[in-house]
Amino acid sequence: MSEFRNSKYATVYIAEPKWKIGSYKIEKIDSSSVEFPERLRHIPGPPGVLYCAGDISLLKERSVAMVGSRRHTAYGKNVALMIGRRLAEHGIIVTSGLALGIDAYSHEGALDADGRVIGVLGGGIEVMGPQRNKNLMMRGLDAGGLVVSEYEPTFPAQAHTFPARNRIISGLSDAVVVVEAGMNSGTLITSNHAAQQGRTVYAVPGPINSQFSIGCNLLIRDGAMPLVLVDDLIRDLGLGSASGRKSSTSVNLAGDELIIYEALTKMGGATVDEIVQETGKSASLINAVATVMEIKGLTETYAGRIYISS
């Protein structure tokens, strides 16, 4: 019981509402609490209170925000899944706004790799929607994750609350990765907040004639770091290096896979045409083998080039 009022005959205590989402209690922490993340105290316009369900300790752990458009390409989906997975494999928490599209895929990738996630909502936790996103939120909670909002659990999301929550997404993170963004994407609001907060912004480059990548390409033109290798981001966070790659013998390769793997190791990454020139194998064979190797987690593809996974 945290509040009271005087009646004519007695003091009447008013208990805090017992908010829950599924089996998870929703806790309220204000900026004076020791549980409040220090990095949020110093952003422009910090939230005065956070409502949290899940593991509150994640608020103080290293995380990377992944954001992008609700409308996306197959390329954007695959990149979001892959980056989310790779970050999780290095123990990095993936933070997003839990929106449809790139946000959701980044969380799915992290959860598929048994990682932990933070979802930052633009409305109350109890009334989170649509159902598909709510299901993903509950999956994240069940995996030891966290969901956060500055709004009371029953407060419905409104048009202005989504841009406002973006400052918390970037504020909770050590870096922000923009996967796909159009010219007027709301995702660019998050990157602006990140820049103001002193966070590094990474943008995934895309085709210059794609409406889905123009925002990312403009961010790169204006100074964002082009994310060509996830290793670069992981190294920048001080959490790993490409020197940790396995040798061809340690991954037990043979035949065409071994030939292509060793060619990629030698070249440090290559296009299919370059691998054709190096190995003498056909382009169709290389594409087929490279697809299988990527499924196995041995290689990654960025902007038309194939790289060895770390």
Q: What is the C-alpha to C-alpha distance for residues 27 and 7, in angstroms, rounded to an integer? A: 29
**pLDDT tens digit string along 71-110?**
888 888 988 998 999 899 889 999 999 998 999 999 999 9
99 shares a domain with 35: yes
Residue 14: pLDDT band (50, 70, 90) is: very low
188 shares a domain with 124: yes
125 shares a domain with 57: yes
Residue 61, in any domain of the structure? yes
Structural contact between residues 97 and 65, judged by C-beta atoms closer than 8 angstroms = no
Residue 281's closest CA among 293, 290, 292?
Answer: 290
Residue 207, in any domain of the structure? yes
Chain centroid offset of residue 73 CA = 17
Last residue of one domain, picked from the residues 183, 204, 236 = 236
Residue 17, in any domain of the structure? no
- Spatial neighbors of 61 by CB under 8 A, at least 6 apart, are 93
77 shares a domain with 203: yes
197 shares a domain with 169: yes
260 shares a domain with 128: no
Q: What is the mean pLDDT of residues 4-33?
A: 72
Residue 166's closest CA among 276, 43, 72?
Answer: 43
Please state the φ and ψ torsions of residue 78, each to the nearest 5 degrees.
-65, -40
Cis, bond preceding 130 (omega within 30 deg of 0):
yes
Q: Is the pLDDT of residue 4 over 50?
A: no
What is the domain extent for residue 204?
24-236
Q: What is the mean pLDDT of residues 131-145?
A: 94
Last residue of one domain, picked from the residues 204, 236, 268 = 236
Single-letter amino acid code for the residue at 85: R
Residue 9, in any domain of the structure? no
Q: What is the C-alpha to C-alpha distance for residues 211 and 29, in angstroms, rounded to an integer? A: 41
What are 17's two structure tokens?
Answer: 């509402």
Of the given ranges (47-61, 159-173, 286-300), which has the lowest mean pLDDT? 286-300
Residue 240: pLDDT band (50, 70, 90) is: low
- Spatial neighbors of 172 by CB under 8 A, at least 6 apart, are 37, 39, 40, 59, 63, 65, 95, 118, 120, 148
Q: Is the pLDDT of residue 1 over 50?
A: no
- The per-residue pLDDT for 35 is 92
DSSP helix/strand/coil, 304: coil
pTM above 0.85, yes or no: no
